[in-house]
Amino acid sequence: MVGMALACSLASMPLTKQLNVAIIDSNPALEGKTCIKKEDPPDPRVSTVTPATISLFKDVGAWQYVQQHRHAYFDKMQVWDYTGLGYTRYNARDVDKEVLGCVVENKVLHSSLLSCIQNTDLKKRIYPSRLNSMTLHQNHLPTMMDSTSSSFHASLAKLELSDGNSLYAKLVVGADGAKSHVRELAGFKTTGWNYSQNAVICTVEHKTENQCAWQRFLPSGPIALLPVGDKFSNIVWTMNPKESSACREMNENDFVKALNHALNYGYGPHPQSNLLGNNGDIFSWFRRDLTVSANECFEVPPDVVKLVSGRMVFPLSLRHANNYASKRVVLIGDAAHTVHPLAGQGVNLGFGDAFALSRIISEGIAVGTDIGEVHLLKKFEVERKRENIMMMAILDGFQKAYSVDFGPLNVLRAAAFHGAQYISPLKRSIISYASGEQRLPLFS
Amino acid sequence: MASKLLNRFPTLNNTAYHILSLPFLRSTVASPFLVHTRLYSEDVSSRVSNRSSLNQVELAKFSSIADTWWDAEGPFKPLHVMNPTRLAFIRSTLCRHFQKDPYCARPFEGLKIVDVGCGGGILSEPLARMGATVTGVDAVEKNIKIARLHSESGPETANIEYCCTTAEKLVEEQREFDAVISLEVIEHVADPAEFCKSLAALTVSNGATVVSTINRSMRSYATAIIAAEYILHWLPKGTHQWSNFLTPQELVLILQRASITVQEMAGFVYNPLTGQWTLSDDISVNFIAFGTKNSQ
């Protein structure tokens, strides 16, 4: 997805649309026009796209294709935990926007980007195969003795594919996911650790339409319920590996019961809805600048009625490549960084990378730079590393803060919930940062 | 303020010779050079007997580090880092002057450009990628060899014509170009006025001439000489002679006497926190001037 977004973005800018792009992806969806049928239940693999990503998609003309398929905007979000000591509700109207984000199936995003590219005159070729090996010539200058090598390919990167094709490229972009082969071949080291948690994802159905995003932090990990459109929702339930295998094995009815238990009445009480009136005068000086959601009561998420897809389990980890770029190679998306799904930010960081890289490439071409030049790619790295690392640190912090069940820490977390709920500037900052509209978490 | 410094040297007088000696603490050049003479004259008529603008001392300096031209981390790193900024200025002024579409990836298609003092070709190659027909000349043979080898690595740059010659010889061959670009060269030539006359002779009428150099100011002494050479070690010691720097007014004057009217000037400013150069109005250290040849 992130690679396709890069190609789309290059196709949409005047300086880069004359580039020759080769897309190497063994995903069968790229081969033919695999139709996405409207009647199919939603695939459990979905992504939450932030308003910043939506506007980037609109800029390159890909969002219109997403709108032709199922997608679900949501404008409300509620976050609470099992202790029942506090909750926070977010509303898009707190920051005068209409949506907090949109949940779209990955296959819809992918096919929209593909349709978008096919409607431009970008010179592209799709290679439905895998990368076998890659050679990057490291010497910056052929030696004086070697003056017979007048082949233009001597300084380019050479890629060998599994179907036997050989390609020469000025720039190789690794957008091949968390287990990136390009990253391995190029020798980039990574830092990170595995969370001892797995995520169980599936699609469920309700009696009525769900228009709010729900997230409840349980002792072993958060469970998130995201609307996907029609009466369906997507579940992302993080738990430790033993429980995740148990969840996958149990029969459907038991699983639905477990879901309702986790979302609703299990593990602890519901938080009290403290309307500002009876919560004491300590918050009275905030009353002037109230957000819409500060007045909303705690709501119980809608009941899960039926499971409509299979259950998938993924291990979770935090991984960050120490460098994103070296001569002729650059990494974007999950290949460069993987995060915990608890705030729905992972793919948005990736899309941010893709659009930033295409802008930097365009600036490089404007001054005649060779696009595989390290200086140029390092500019991209410096720009994105800062933002990615900041987001990763915050998410990791949340993950650690919520994985400990310790009295005083629980109270602290409850205080944090109350603070976010009632302190309007803080809430607005949080919403803006999570929507991608704001670069720094606190000081705008 | 430059004159205050010069007044400390007793040899300064109206007629003309100005000797400034800068001992090299450590030089990359094999033979020791302690005294460097430059002609400095109030009235710009040339007093040099040989009609070449070559300065042998400078040539030797560059010849010794020629192999490192394309090493992005080597002695030429500042030029590599500054390159995109210089190209941005060249792109915007030339596109405007020749009325080319700035959103085109190859706006210089059809333009003949000469890069005087091309060194290893770090300016010539991007110009060629932007579509220009580029000729690169340099007086140091080694530089031309390096430039030729490097340009063979890509189809867009393989057509650059490199010659080991001087601007004066090109004038003798009666070559003419739409744009003549000479960046960071004029501070290394023996006679800047003559050099500018040669640059002008190479430009077609109504063509463009772009010259960049370092200002002769207190700030540039502190930045380009002390900071860059002695403290940060960005440049080998002795790369620049402060007395050879030209002030913007002097450059405009000698270009004008060579029939080139300077239309735009900009400065380059380095931000040490981000490590980036940007174009700005501050011409107190590095500056670049774009001029057009008066139509005859």
Reported as a single tens digit per residue, the pLDDT across A202-227 is: 999 988 888 889 999 888 888 999 99
Q: Which of B93 and A268 is assigned the larger pLDDT?
A: B93
Which domain, by its residues, includes B73?
7-30+50-293
Q: Which of the residues A16, A121, A138, A141 would you substitute to probe the B interface, choosing the one with the greatest number of B C-beta atoms within 10 Å?
A: A141
Residue B49 has pLDDT above 70, yes or no: no
Q: How far apart are CA A36 and CA A34, in angstroms?
A: 6
pLDDT-derived band at A137, boundaries 50, 70, 90: low
Q: What DSSP character marks residue A89?
A: E
What does the pLDDT read at residue B63? 74
Task: Supply the mean pLDDT for chain A.
Answer: 84
User: Inter-chain contact A369–B71, Cβ cutoff 8 Å?
Assistant: no
Say if residues A87 and A268 touch (Cβ distance below 8 Å): no
Q: What percent of chain B has pLDDT over 90?
A: 48
pLDDT-derived band at B225, boundaries 50, 70, 90: confident
What does the pLDDT read at residue B21? 31
On chain A, the residues whose CB falls within 8 A of the CB of B153 are: 142, 152, 154-155
> How does pLDDT run across A23-75, given as a tens digit for each residue?
888 887 776 566 777 778 888 889 999 999 999 999 999 999 999 988 999 98
Nearest to B117 by CA among B174, B72, B53, B67: B53
Cα–Cα distances in angstroms (integers) from residue B36 to residues B22, B47, B177, B214, in the given order = 8, 17, 34, 18
Residue B45 lies in a domain: no
Q: Which of the residues B86, B104, B150, B153 would you substitute to probe the A interface, choosing the one with the greatest number of A C-beta atoms within 10 Å?
A: B153
Token pair, residue A342, equals 């608890």
Taking one residue from A and the other from B, the number of pairs with CB-CB distance under 8 angstroms is 64
Residue B278 lies in a domain: yes
Q: Which of B5 and A353 is assigned the larger pLDDT?
A: A353
On chain B, the residues whose CB falls within 8 A of the CB of A147 are: 149
Q: What is the mean pLDDT of residues B86-115?
A: 92
Kindly report whether the global pTM for this prediction surpasses the value 0.90: no
Q: HSE, CB side, 13 Å, CA atoms: give it for residue A44.
A: 18
What does the pLDDT read at residue B52? 60
User: Inter-chain contact B154–A370, Cβ cutoff 8 Å?
Assistant: yes
Residue A334 has pLDDT above 70, yes or no: yes
Here the CATH number for the domain that contains residue B158 is 3.40.50.150
Residue B153 lies in a domain: yes
Determine the residue of chain B that is closest to A150 in CA distance. B152
What does the pLDDT read at residue A343? 83
Q: What is the mean pLDDT of residues A383-391?
A: 90
User: Inter-chain contact A14–B104, Cβ cutoff 8 Å?
Assistant: yes
Q: How far apart are CA B156 and CA B159, in angstroms?
A: 7
Q: What percent of chain A has pLDDT over 70?
A: 91
Token pair, residue A181, equals 């082969």
Residue B43 lies in a domain: no
What does the pLDDT read at residue B41? 36
Question: Mind telling me how many Å the CA of B67 is from chain A's nearest CA?
Answer: 9
User: Inter-chain contact B91–A366, Cβ cutoff 8 Å?
Assistant: yes
User: Which class for A50: exposed (0-12), middle (13-18), buried (19 or more C-beta within 10 A)?
Assistant: buried
Residue B268 lies in a domain: yes
Q: What is the mean pLDDT of residues B128-146?
A: 92
User: Inter-chain contact A368–B130, Cβ cutoff 8 Å?
Assistant: yes
Question: Mind telling me how many Å the CA of B130 is from chain A's nearest CA?
Answer: 5
Question: Mind telling me how many Å the CA of B87 is from chain A's nearest CA?
Answer: 6
User: Inter-chain contact A367–B146, Cβ cutoff 8 Å?
Assistant: no
On chain B, the residues whose CB falls within 8 A of the CB of A369 are: 84, 126, 129
Cα–Cα distances in angstroms (integers) from residue A330 to residues A175, A339, A381, B103, in the given order = 9, 19, 9, 25
What does the pLDDT read at residue B162? 94
The answer for residues whose C-beta is within 8 angstroms of residue B11's C-beta and 6 or more apart is B17, B18, B19
Residue B234 has pLDDT above 90, yes or no: no
Token pair, residue A8, equals 């789309």
The separation between the first and the last C-alpha atoms of chain A, rounded to the nearest angstrom, is 30
- Largest Cα separation within chain B, whole Å, is 57
What does the pLDDT read at residue B1? 45
Q: How far apart are CA A110 and CA A47, in angstroms?
A: 11
Q: How far apart are CA A213 and CA A225, in angstroms?
A: 6
User: Inter-chain contact B129–A370, Cβ cutoff 8 Å?
Assistant: yes
Sign of the CA dihedral running A415, A421, A425, A427: positive
Q: Residue positions of B in the annotated binding site for S-adenosyl-L-methionine?
A: 86, 117, 138, 183
Cα–Cα distances in angstroms (integers) from residue A278 to residues A83, A86, A273, B63, B194, in the given order = 21, 15, 10, 83, 87
Residue B41 lies in a domain: no
Residue B5 has pLDDT above 50, yes or no: no
Of A14, A147, A366, the CB nearest to B149: A147
Determine the residue of chain B that is closest to A365 in CA distance. B105
Q: How far apart are CA A169 and CA A124, in angstroms?
A: 13
Residue B180 lies in a domain: yes
What does the pLDDT read at residue A350? 93
Say if residues B97 and B292 touch (Cβ distance below 8 Å): yes
What does the pLDDT read at residue A384? 92
Q: What is the full DSSP assignment across A108-162?
A: HHHHHHHHHHHTS--EEEEE-S-EEEEE----SS--GGGTT---GGGGSEEEEET
Q: What is the mean pLDDT of residues A156-160?
A: 88
Determine the residue of chain B that is closest to A362 in CA distance. B105
Q: How many domains does chain B have?
A: 1
pLDDT-derived band at A274, boundaries 50, 70, 90: low
Nearest to A2 by CA among A390, A354, A396, A320: A354
What does the pLDDT read at residue B45? 38
What does the pLDDT read at residue A143? 42
User: In this predicted structure, which of A61-75, A137-151, B13-27, B160-174 has the lowest mean pLDDT?
Assistant: B13-27
> How does pLDDT run across A42-56, given as a tens digit for each residue?
888 899 999 999 999
pLDDT-derived band at A444, boundaries 50, 70, 90: low
On chain A, the residues whose CB falls within 8 A of the CB of B83 are: 367
Other Cβ atoms less than 10 A from the Cβ of A312: the count is 13
Of A18, A140, A382, the CB nearest to B105: A18
Residue B240 has pLDDT above 50, yes or no: yes
What does the pLDDT read at residue B179? 95
What does the pLDDT read at residue A141? 46
Residue B74 lies in a domain: yes
Question: Mind telling me how many Å the CA of A367 is from chain B's nearest CA?
Answer: 6
Q: Residue positions of B in the annotated binding site?
A: 86, 117, 138, 183-184, 187-188
What does the pLDDT read at residue B15? 35
Of A144, A154, A374, the CB nearest to B72: A374
- Largest Cα separation within chain A, whole Å, is 86
What does the pLDDT read at residue B114? 95
